[in-house]
Amino acid sequence: MGSFLNTDRPPVFCPGCAHERVTSALDETFQQMELEASEIVIVSDIGCSGLFDTFFNTHAFHGLHGRALTYATGLKLARPELTVIVTMGDGGLGIGGAHVLSACRRNVDLTLMVLNNFNYGMTGGQFSATTPSDAKVGSSFLNQLEMPIDACRVAASAGAGWVMRASIYEKHVADQLTAAIRYPGFSMIDLWGVCPGRYTKQNNLTPKSLRAIMDGLPSADGPVPENQRKEYGKHYAEIAAGLKPQGPPPQIEARQNAPDHGKNGISILGSAGQRIITAGEILCLAGMSAGLHATQKNDYPITVLRGHSVSELLLSDTTIGYTGIEQPAVVIAIADEGVARRKSMIDRLDENCLVIKATDVDVPASRAQVHEIDFKAWKIKSQDRALASLAVLAGLDRIISADMLRAAISFRFKDAIAASALVLMDNVAGHLAA
């Protein structure tokens, strides 16, 4: 197979730039792998290494600094058959650090080539994440204050399955690249070279001295035994194949008749653990079982397991506009935390409002009618108070009927839970009758 080098756009690097060698090595790799050009996408980053996509007649994607791995991940998961190669400098390695770590952890079948020349060439030789602290760079003394990272050790510890440190001046780079690309998971090659345009103007670095530095580092020569595992995309497909497709959202049929008309607001004031939000949903479903429009808004702290829990519902036989409740028809007060949260609303209640309150909850005096329930005497647990209050409402035939509530319970809950909710309803009805 022939070269994929784009003869219309030859490399434009400074004389002696390592990137020129990388370009030839990559072309040689494609030839020895016998890939079709249309099977390859080169995703390039920013900086001098960001020019790579233009040198090859393959698919190409050039984006923002440090983000090349993110596009590559999207491309590969959308088209798993593609060979996706990312070229990035040590600059991209630093600014895109979170993406490098995540790519190592994720193990999507991509190959990351870090074209490591220890500085930002294009912008003037500033220090990067791999610049030695004693190097002379375009950032004055700032690199003396920071430690360089070893990309290979970082990648291996982040979970990469294949990591290699290599010098562009040594033999077999095309073989090394071939092995990286053939690896069926995420592979990273940390390819060292010099930047004569910037770095070696002030720092003495030769192929020999590069080798000497490399020999002093822990080896990184391909597979990382402890990180071998399934490739992300294949694993994803494997798990997804076992998932049940979701149908359209379930619908409750409108078969009941509502006892009340107009627009009615209901506030349920409780605390975490009282299943307030589920009860609010049940109330709305009960309304919907009679063809009413319904809205539900909830208010609870971000730390969901403590504090207030408030659910505000509207049921209406006409379309609901504003979803706030200015004057509720019913307030269900079953915990002090919820009442405290809506104190100003309680002060405004008028004589048409019904307050269903637990005996042990303090509700400030208002003009509303009050129906008090001694849940303890009824042997109803705290987490059942909200649902029991709905049963009280249905028992009083206010806003919802018992049939509407039963329809909602049967729609929302399955088997045992539905059965115990219906038992609770009967229990409440018995107490109300007594």
Partner 1 sequence: MGLSFLEGNEAIAHGAVAAGCNFFAGYPITPATTVYNTMLSLLPPSGGVCLQGEDEIASMGFCLGASMAGKKVLTATSGPGISLYSEQISFAIGSEIPVVIVDVQRLGPSTGSATRGADGDVQFLQWGSSGGLPVIVLAPADVRDCYLLTVHAFNLAEKFRCPVFLASNKEIAMTKESIDLSAIPLPDIVERQPAGPNQPFRPFASENNHSAPPFLPIGGDTLVRQTSSTHGTDGYITIDPAVIESMQQRLDQKLMAHVDALTFYDTDIQEGADTLVITYGVTSRSAVDAVASLRSEGKAASLLVLKTLWPVPEAVIRQLAAPVSRVVVTEMNMGLYLREIERLLPDKTIGFMGHMSGKLVTPHEIREVVTNG
Residues making contact with partner 1 (CB under 8 A):
9, 37-38, 41, 43, 53-54, 57-64, 67, 69-79, 81-82, 98-99, 101-102, 236, 239-240, 243-246, 248-254, 281, 284-285, 287-288, 291-299, 302, 320-324, 326
Select the residue whose beta carbon is closest to ligand SF4 and give its number. 197
Map residues 99-118 to x or -, x wherever contact with ligand SF4 holds by CB under 6 A.
------------------x-
For the residues of 165-203, what is the DSSP string, one character each? EEETTSTTHHHHHHHHHHSSS-EEEEEE---TTTHHHHS
Q: Which stretch, 21-29, 193-201, 221-229, 304-312, contacts ligand SF4 (CB under 6 A)?
A: 193-201
> CA neighbours within 13 Å on the CB side: how many for 244?
3
3-state SS class at 333: strand
Residue 302 CB burial class (10 angstroms; 0-12, 13-18, ≥19): exposed
Kindly state the smallest distance separating residue 52's Cβ from partner 1, in Å.
12
Residue (198 or 385) nearer to ligand SF4, CB:
198
Among 102, 126, 89, 103, which Cα is nearest to 13's? Answer: 89
How far is residue 405's CA from residue 385's CA, in Å, rounded to a whole number? 15
CB contact at 8 A, 220 and 187: no
Q: Does 48 bind ligand SF4 (CB under 6 A)?
A: yes
From ligand SF4, partner 1, none, interface partner of 204 (C-beta below 5 to 8 A by class): none
Site for ligand SF4 in 144-173 (CB under 6 A): none
CB contact at 8 A, 120 and 93: no
- Compute and round to an integer the Cα radius of gyration of the chain: 34
3-state SS class at 237: helix
Q: Does 197 bind ligand SF4 (CB under 6 A)?
A: yes
Interface residue with ligand SF4 among 66, 121, 328, 338 (CB under 6 A) is 121
Residue (41 or 155) nearer to partner 1, CB:
41
CB contact at 8 A, 337 and 307: yes
Kindly state the smallest distance separating residue 199's Cβ from ligand SF4, in Å.
7
Q: Does 46 bind ligand SF4 (CB under 6 A)?
A: no
Rule CB under 6 A: which residues touch ligand SF4? 13-14, 17, 19, 48, 117, 121-122, 195-198
